[in-house]
């Protein structure tokens, strides 16, 4: 299952991060604002339970988030979304999954992992801005699926149709929420039109 964000606000921010002329600091800020759009959308799909709240006037029923949330930014580029998600979900725990795509084989290789303990009420939210072949996200989802949880949601900024198809084939129960679905992958595994290398643009590397 997937959801693609729509509307002028998110499209405006995407136009900033897509432009090759956008400097690193403005790229980071727009990525943060896109993270807010994504986090609000993800928050609509969190498991919840009913509570009775006493207002100054009466009591009323309210829905509150149930269980614990664990955010998993996929290093490095997922860090660009983390602060925004923590603003919307301040009680979330954070785990880290370090994956580097081998630029020849396009296979994601793990170089770091540090995940908090999980239980049957845990909702994992994976932050991976670019879903290109889908290999990095798929590797992460496979790892999380083996842990106790109640739901897994993935948030991305731009997906390629090929990557989304891979996730939906390998992980049909995961909900993927993205800012845009682009046209295709080029022959070196970059999303077109895309934005280039998200990690490099966020952190000034090449």
Give the CA distances from residue 161 to residues 34, 129, 157, 179, 184, in Å, rounded to whole numbers and listed in that order.
Answer: 20, 14, 13, 13, 6
**179 near ligand PRP (CB under 6 A):** no
183 touches 156 (CB < 8 A): no
Q: Which residue is nearest to ligand PRP (CB)?
A: 199
168 touches 3 (CB < 8 A): no
Q: How far is the CB of 134 from ligand PRP (least distance, A)?
A: 5
Contacts (CB under 6 A) with ligand PRP, residues 101-120: 101, 106, 108
Which tokens go with 134?
């889908």
Candidate segments 40-48, 117-125, 175-183, 193-201, binder of ligand PRP by CB under 6 A: 193-201
Which tokens go with 75?
């290093």
15 touches 194 (CB < 8 A): no
Rounded Cα gap, residues 159 and 134, in angstroms: 8
In 1-107, DSSP assigns E strands to 2-4, 48-54, 59-65, 69-75, 93-94, 96-101
**74 near ligand PRP (CB under 6 A):** yes
Which tokens go with 144?
């999380």
Q: Which of ligand URA, ligand PRP, none binds 166 (CB below 5-8 Å, type-dependent)?
A: none
**80 near ligand PRP (CB under 6 A):** no
Residues 125-164 as x/- pattern, contact with ligand URA by CB under 6 A: -----x-x--------------------------------
129 touches 73 (CB < 8 A): no
**39 near ligand URA (CB under 6 A):** no
**100 near ligand PRP (CB under 6 A):** yes
Binder of ligand PRP out of 71, 128, 154, 194 (CB under 6 A)? 128
Q: Which of ligand URA, ligand PRP, none binds 126 (CB below 5-8 Å, type-dependent)?
A: none
Q: Which stretches of the chain bind ligand PRP, using CB under 6 A?
A: 74-77, 100-101, 106, 108, 128-136, 163, 189, 197-199
Q: Which stretches of the chain bind ligand URA, using CB under 6 A?
A: 77, 130, 132, 189-191, 194, 197-199
């Amino acid at each position: 299952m997937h959801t693609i964000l729509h509307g002028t606000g998110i499209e405006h921010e995407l136009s900033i991060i897509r432009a090759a002329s956008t400097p690193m600091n403005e790229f980071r800020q727009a990525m943060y604002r896109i993270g807010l759009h994504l986090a609000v959308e993800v928050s609509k799909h969190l498991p919840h339970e009913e509570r009775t709240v006493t207002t100054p006037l009466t009591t009323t029923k309210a829905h509150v988030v149930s269980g614990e949330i664990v955010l998993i930014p996929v290093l490095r580029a997922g860090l660009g979304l983390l602060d925004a998600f923590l603003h919307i979900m301040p009680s979330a725990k954070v785990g880290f999954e370090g994956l580097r795509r081998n630029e020849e084989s396009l296979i994601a290789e793990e170089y770091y992992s540090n995940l908090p303990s999980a239980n049957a009420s845990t909702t994992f939210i994976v932050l991976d801005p670019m879903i290109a072949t889908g290999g990095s996200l798929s590797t992460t989802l496979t790892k999380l699926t083996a842990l106790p949880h109640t739901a897994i949601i993935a948030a991305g900024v731009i997906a390629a149709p090929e990557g989304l198809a891979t996730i939906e084939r390998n992980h049909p129960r995961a909900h993927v929420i993205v800012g845009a679905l682009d046209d295709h992958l080029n022959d070196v595994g970059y999303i077109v039109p895309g934005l280039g290398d998200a990690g490099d643009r966020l952190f000034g590397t090449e």
